[in-house]
Chain A
Amino acid sequence: MIELTAHGVAFLTNTRTVVLADLHLGKSAAFRAHGMPVPEGDCARDLGRLSQILNELDARECVIAGDFFHAPAGMTEEIIEAVENFITEAAMPIHFVLGNHDGRIGRMPHGLKWIKAHDLTDGIRIVHDPADAAGAGFHIAGHLHPVVKIRDGKRTSIRMPCFYFRNEVLVLPSFGSFTGGAVVHPQAGDRVFVAMREQVVEVPSELWKSSLT
């Protein structure tokens, strides 16, 4: 069974596997390296959040569905060290699926290996880009940073990060706190889930359908 949690991760209860995507660690450092004064804080915060989730859910395994890092310019000593500590302290297998942002990273933290895709025992395959979800079977992906836009009928609308399920592919919201989102345009048959008050609820199609007109 797959459980979607309000932290924006998928939890596979059979294997106790936590799947998440798009942390974009080092994004603010990349900005600073380019002369834009953005404060640091996200890297430590996001890794801390992740450790806490793994703990709370009593996870045995963790899969990062790509874009763990943001850019070469963001690979500072501090970040590499924080990631190495995180891997050691997690004390469980962590699988890193290679995302498009990860490809250009030069220096790698110790103990981190990239894989193209990760197959779970119960036939679920984890990839980065939903476009790579070829063939039958259930896929979990990231990459899109999906956000749903809900019109409230008063000429204003709400944007919320979401889990986006379409054609047997579950796209996870981006996990990193310094990441933006892209509005998805669900079609009939798709399903959209958002976190609301510590729970994940499905957004009824009545609410996102209106965003098409």
Chain B
Amino acid sequence: MAKVKLRKWFKQRGWKPFPFQEETWQAFFEGKSGLLHAPTGVGKTWAAYLGPLMMTDPAASGLQILWITPLRALAADTLRTLREPLQDFFPKFQAEARTGDSSASLRARLRKNLPHTLVTTPESLSLMLTHADFREKIANLRGIIVDEWHELLGTKRGVQTELCLARLRTWQPNVRIWGLSATLGNLTEARRSLLGSAFSESVEISADLKRTISLETCIPKEMSRFPWAGHIGTQLASQVVTCIEKAQATLLFTNTRSQTEIWFQQILAIRPDWKSLIAMHHGSLDRADRELAEAGLRDGSLKCVVATSSLDLGVDFSPVDQVIQIGSPKGIARLMQRAGRSGHQPNRTSSILCVPTHALELIEFAAARDAMKSGEIESRRLIKCPLDVLVQHLVTCAIGEPFAPAEMRAEVQSAWAYENLSDADWAWAMGFITDGGHALKSYPKYRKVSEMNGRYGVEDKRLIAQHRMSIGTIVSEPSVSVQFASGRSLGTIEESFVAKLKPGSRFIFSGKALILVRLHQRKATVKVAPKTGTGAVAIWGGSRMPLSTELADAMARRLGGLEDQDGPEMSAVQPLLDVQRQWSQVPGTERLLIEFTRSREGEHWFIYPFAGRLVHEGLSALCAFRLAREIGESIQTTQNDYGFSLTARRGLSLSEEYVALALTAENFYEDLIECMNSAELARRQFREIARVSGLVLQPPPNQRDRGQRDLQVSSSLLFEVLNRYDPENLLLVQAQREILEKQLEMTRLSEIIKRCEAMPKALIETEHLTPFAFPLWAERLTALMPAGDAESRLEAMLRELTRAATNLA
């Protein structure tokens, strides 16, 4: 019956439901939860929303459908889409969005009455759990939809969502939960983590639309002059401008914000007449500017928007008919997502034009095409049992409705991330929120959650307000706002970057050449730089995302000749590979290539495991540590996505014995912990944990409460204090574990070292730096992992200084 109505509704619009849409409605009507996986822009929203909509109880009040989105920016767009059928079917009901951006008046209204449909973020949902009457207001909740679940998966926000869903499931055992996800390598795991204990009855529906993605590459016209290394790569700007010219509207994706700024400048330099036709979009820009760019894309008034991943998701930009990717795609799923931003209609071909910034990226593009064809998509590695998120959630729950520990524990364990929560971890978490930890004595005067008649709640109004302000797991870098003296805001930028600039320094931001006038109280006042006079352009770093395992493997297979060698990319890069072959070998999957070269700087090893930058960082540190111990010389390392280098002044000869010594899996964990200065790394990781667990306050920007001035402390100081007086604190253990997984990809690292150990090796001494070695050599300026504590480092520097002075004399 309901389906007939929906078909009719579609027909009025001249559409016909896709089979996957009908399937999803049917599953919902049968009372099932599940995961729907489909590319962007094929009607996922209708599939997920219309089922629960048809189950609406016209007589009921309060919330009936909850829509969770990871992106605030998406909320408005989603709301617009959902309102359409809601109006048609149930004109008396409302839909609203509640996010961190919502106005105070809307929030106040929603505190009183919840609409039929609410669009919200995980953080806002958590916040609503702290309101005592929330349970009552959702007594008629039918369906929960989690949009873009792949974005949340594997993050602490995702775990926070899992816990919130567990709470809602406890209150409403019959609620159906549906996740929407883009293509992933581990969809079953994704569904399991979304649904927790409700997994067994659930279904997975795949849109399975034959949506082909065509990947084109911009081949450099003058291949011989194309660089072997680099990552800014504007050599192809004029070729790119020609492509933009031909298309109606172009989305040009880059990998970092500074690359976005640079490309924007380049395009303008070639086509100054496009000044009002192109725009920029990245996370640091002022929201108004970003919205302007989005509106320009939607209504087709812009010819091109240069963007970072800030535009990867969601919003429908139908006029866009061309997507360009600058530089490495880094991952297959990401490339597909970006390609999907064009031809935003079902059954239309998406296409993406890839522009290399250096020669070897051509092979990455060819490899990405292979992987897409064979359907090898990245998996998300999931997080298990983060205690910082748990303690935050427990306080959230205690505020909303005092809980009995045994019931709460069962609820928490119904969330997938905590299904194996141990007695010890649970006891510690309860201790942390009540008396401060394992030993009552060690935390005098501390009280947050207190027990009354067997239930745990929070009474102190001040603590409640403080907790509400700090809900969430997103920890941002301290930032400063960039503005003109007139007060016009340009956006925000990391404090660490601005702090490095002196007044008078030039930098590019928001598409303008600027001069820093002064930095005062988290406000950087700037003025427009005069046209004449150049100066170094300061570039601020973004995180350098590593190549995904799947893409790295695909690339190794291409190089190893396991895929056919046809295609424009491979023929373009052939001369380079010929040089590589002539001087050495082409690295691949059959043998592990190890090159040895001498230069003025000393002796170099270049090793190519193709395991991505993070793994190479750990692996190179490990090899350097082991070999340095053997030869008694210090060894420097560099790494990129393809391999890593080791450099010593002397003593690093190439022998099978040394190779075996460096790449053995034996004692690998102990050696790694010892060489990575893991205490120092864990201290850095502790920032996020301290914030999420409520050990440090992060007041929202511009709301620095004077009353909280006494409560400012750096997380690294806290880390020391905890180490000194409460070394058993499980948050310290968590920091260690997270840093090993996040910074070093420990699990993968151990797989890779075993693989490297087992693979036959090709040891080759070369006269020159080969095309593969050159980029590694050129990276030699990257930061080294500082060894030793501050005092010994200073001592070494003073010694160096004295030596230099003596030499002068």
Are A and B physically bound partners? yes
Q: Give the B-binding residues of A (Cβ under 8 A).
A: 27-42, 70-71, 73-74, 76, 78, 101, 150, 152, 154-156, 158-160, 177-180, 194, 196-197, 201, 203-204, 206-207, 212-213
Binds A, one of B68-76, B360-368, B784-792: B784-792
Q: How far is the CA of A36 from the CA of B696 in the complex (A)?
A: 7
Q: How far is the CA of A88 from the CA of B711 in the complex (A)?
A: 30
Contact B444–A32 (Cβ < 8 Å):
yes
In the assembled complex, B694 has its CB within 8 A of some CB on chain A:
yes
Nearest chain A CB to B546's CB is how many angstroms away?
Answer: 19
- Given A37-B695, A40-B443, A78-B444, answer yes or no on A32-B436 (Cβ-Cβ < 8 Å): yes
Q: How far is the CA of A212 from the CA of B501 in the complex (A)?
A: 9
Contact A36–B445 (Cβ < 8 Å):
no
Nearest chain B CB to A65's CB is how many angstroms away?
Answer: 20
Contact B721–A39 (Cβ < 8 Å):
yes
Contact B466–A204 (Cβ < 8 Å):
no
The interface on chain B, measured as residues whose beta carbon lies within 8 A of the other chain's beta carbons, has a size of 48
Residue on B with the closest CB to A29? B445
* Contacting residues, chain A, for B502 (C-beta < 8 A): 212-213
B455-496 residues with Cβ-Cβ distance < 8 A to A are: 460, 462-463, 466-467
Nearest chain A CB to B451's CB is how many angstroms away?
Answer: 15
* Contacting residues, chain A, for B794 (C-beta < 8 A): 150, 158, 160, 194, 196, 203
0/1 string, B48-83, CB within 8 A of A gives 1 = 000000000000000000000000000000000000
0/1 string, B435-452, CB within 8 A of A gives 1 = 011000011111110000
Binds A, one of B138-146, B523-531, B564-572, B795-803: B795-803
- Given A70-B710, A154-B786, answer yes or no on A178-B721 (Cβ-Cβ < 8 Å): yes
Contact B443–A31 (Cβ < 8 Å):
no
Contact B710–A39 (Cβ < 8 Å):
no
Nearest chain B CB to A77's CB is how many angstroms away?
Answer: 9
Contact B695–A38 (Cβ < 8 Å):
yes
Q: Which of A32, A37, A159, A204 has the most chain B CB atoms closer than 10 A to its own CB?
A: A37
Q: How far is the CA of A69 from the CA of B712 in the complex (A)?
A: 15
Residue on A with the closest CB to B786? A156
Binds A, one of B258-266, B317-325, B377-385, B722-730: B722-730
Contact A39–B726 (Cβ < 8 Å):
yes
Q: A34-B463, A180-B712, A197-B795 are in contact. List 16 more A-B contacts (CB 8 A).
A: A30-B710, A30-B711, A31-B713, A36-B694, A36-B695, A37-B432, A39-B436, A39-B725, A40-B444, A76-B444, A158-B793, A158-B794, A180-B713, A194-B794, A203-B794, A206-B801
Nearest chain A CB to B770's CB is how many angstroms away?
Answer: 26
In the assembled complex, B104 has its CB within 8 A of some CB on chain A:
no
Residue on A with the closest CB to B781? A155
In the assembled complex, B521 has its CB within 8 A of some CB on chain A:
no
Q: How far is the CA of A44 from the CA of B35 in the complex (A)?
A: 56
Q: Which of B432, B437, B721, B801 has the most chain A CB atoms closer than 10 A to its own CB?
A: B721
Contact A28–B448 (Cβ < 8 Å):
no
Nearest chain B CB to A109's CB is how many angstroms away?
Answer: 17
Q: How far is the CA of A196 from the CA of B796 in the complex (A)?
A: 11
In the assembled complex, B219 has its CB within 8 A of some CB on chain A:
no
Nearest chain B CB to A45's CB is how many angstroms away?
Answer: 8
Residue on B with the closest CB to A155? B783
In the assembled complex, B717 has its CB within 8 A of some CB on chain A:
yes
Q: How far is the CA of A176 from the CA of B553 in the complex (A)?
A: 53
14 contacts between A and B (CB under 8 A): A27-B710, A30-B710, A32-B436, A35-B694, A37-B436, A38-B443, A39-B442, A40-B444, A101-B710, A154-B783, A155-B782, A196-B795, A197-B795, A207-B797
Q: How far is the CA of A36 from the CA of B446 in the complex (A)?
A: 7
Contact A32–B717 (Cβ < 8 Å):
no
Contact B784–A154 (Cβ < 8 Å):
yes
- Among A39, A42, A101, A152, which residue has its beta carbon within 8 angstroms of that of B793? A152
Q: How far is the CA of A29 from the CA of B443 in the complex (A)?
A: 9
0/1 string, B533-560, CB within 8 A of A gives 1 = 0000000000000000000000000000
In the assembled complex, B718 has its CB within 8 A of some CB on chain A:
yes
Q: Which of B442, B694, B717, B722 has the most chain A CB atoms closer than 10 A to its own CB?
A: B717
In the assembled complex, B714 has its CB within 8 A of some CB on chain A:
yes
B266-285 residues with Cβ-Cβ distance < 8 A to A are: none
Q: How far is the CA of A213 from the CA of B505 in the complex (A)?
A: 11
- Among B445, B720, B786, which residue has its beta carbon within 8 angstroms of that of A76? B445
- Among B446, B694, B718, B720, which residue has its beta carbon within 8 angstroms of that of A32? B446
* Contacting residues, chain B, for A76 (C-beta < 8 A): 444-445
Contact A150–B797 (Cβ < 8 Å):
yes
- Given A32-B445, A76-B444, answer yes or no on A201-B798 (Cβ-Cβ < 8 Å): yes
Q: How far is the CA of A197 from the CA of B795 in the complex (A)?
A: 9
Residue on B with the closest CB to A161? B790
* Contacting residues, chain B, for A212 (C-beta < 8 A): 502
Nearest chain B CB to A150's CB is how many angstroms away?
Answer: 6
* Contacting residues, chain A, for B724 (C-beta < 8 A): 41, 177
Contact A156–B790 (Cβ < 8 Å):
no
Contact B718–A38 (Cβ < 8 Å):
yes
Q: How far is the CA of A31 from the CA of B695 in the complex (A)?
A: 9
Q: How far is the CA of A33 from the CA of B443 in the complex (A)?
A: 10
* Contacting residues, chain A, for B696 (C-beta < 8 A): 36
Q: Give the A-binding residues of B (Cβ under 8 A).
A: 432-433, 436-437, 442-448, 460, 462-463, 466-467, 502, 694-697, 710-714, 717-718, 720-722, 724-726, 729, 781-784, 786, 790-791, 793-795, 797-798, 801
* Contacting residues, chain B, for A160 (C-beta < 8 A): 790-791, 794
* Smallest CB-CB A-B distances: 6 pairs: A32-B446, A41-B725, A39-B725, A71-B710, A37-B436, A155-B783
Nearest chain B CB to A93's CB is how many angstroms away?
Answer: 30
- Given A156-B786, A158-B790, answer yes or no on A39-B443 (Cβ-Cβ < 8 Å): yes
Residue on B with the closest CB to A157? B786
Nearest chain A CB to B647's CB is how many angstroms away?
Answer: 13
* Contacting residues, chain A, for B460 (C-beta < 8 A): 35
* Contacting residues, chain A, for B795 (C-beta < 8 A): 196-197
Q: How far is the CA of A113 from the CA of B541 in the complex (A)?
A: 52
Nearest chain A CB to B636's CB is how many angstroms away?
Answer: 9
Nearest chain B CB to A129's CB is how many angstroms away?
Answer: 16
Nearest chain A CB to B504's CB is how many angstroms away?
Answer: 12
* Contacting residues, chain B, for A28 (C-beta < 8 A): 721
Q: How far is the CA of A24 from the CA of B781 in the complex (A)?
A: 41
Nearest chain A CB to B498's CB is how many angstroms away?
Answer: 14
* Contacting residues, chain A, for B467 (C-beta < 8 A): 35
Nearest chain A CB to B449's CB is how many angstroms away?
Answer: 9
Contact B784–A156 (Cβ < 8 Å):
yes
* Contacting residues, chain A, for B798 (C-beta < 8 A): 201, 204, 207
- Among A27, A37, A155, A196, which residue has its beta carbon within 8 angstroms of that of B791? A196
Q: How far is the CA of A180 from the CA of B714 in the complex (A)?
A: 7
Q: How far is the CA of A76 from the CA of B446 in the complex (A)?
A: 12
Q: How far is the CA of A206 from the CA of B798 in the complex (A)?
A: 10
Q: How far is the CA of A40 from the CA of B502 in the complex (A)?
A: 41
Residue on B with the closest CB to A37? B436
Q: Which of A33, A34, A160, A213 has the most chain B CB atoms closer than 10 A to its own CB?
A: A34
Q: How far is the CA of A31 from the CA of B714 in the complex (A)?
A: 13
- Given A196-B794, A207-B797, answer yes or no on A34-B784 (Cβ-Cβ < 8 Å): no
Contact A40–B725 (Cβ < 8 Å):
yes
Nearest chain A CB to B209's CB is how many angstroms away?
Answer: 48
Q: How far is the CA of A212 from the CA of B504 in the complex (A)?
A: 13
Q: How far is the CA of A74 from the CA of B694 in the complex (A)?
A: 19
Contact B717–A180 (Cβ < 8 Å):
yes
Contact A152–B726 (Cβ < 8 Å):
no
- Among A33, A152, A178, which residue has its beta carbon within 8 angstroms of that of B797? A152
Nearest chain A CB to B37's CB is how many angstroms away?
Answer: 41
Q: How far is the CA of A30 from the CA of B794 in the complex (A)?
A: 35
- Among A29, A33, A73, A207, which residue has its beta carbon within 8 angstroms of that of B801? A207
Contact B801–A40 (Cβ < 8 Å):
no
Q: How far is the CA of A159 from the CA of B581 in the complex (A)?
A: 47
Nearest chain A CB to B194's CB is how many angstroms away?
Answer: 31
Q: How far is the CA of A156 from the CA of B781 in the complex (A)?
A: 11
Contact A159–B790 (Cβ < 8 Å):
yes
* Contacting residues, chain B, for A178 (C-beta < 8 A): 713, 717, 721
* Contacting residues, chain B, for A70 (C-beta < 8 A): 710
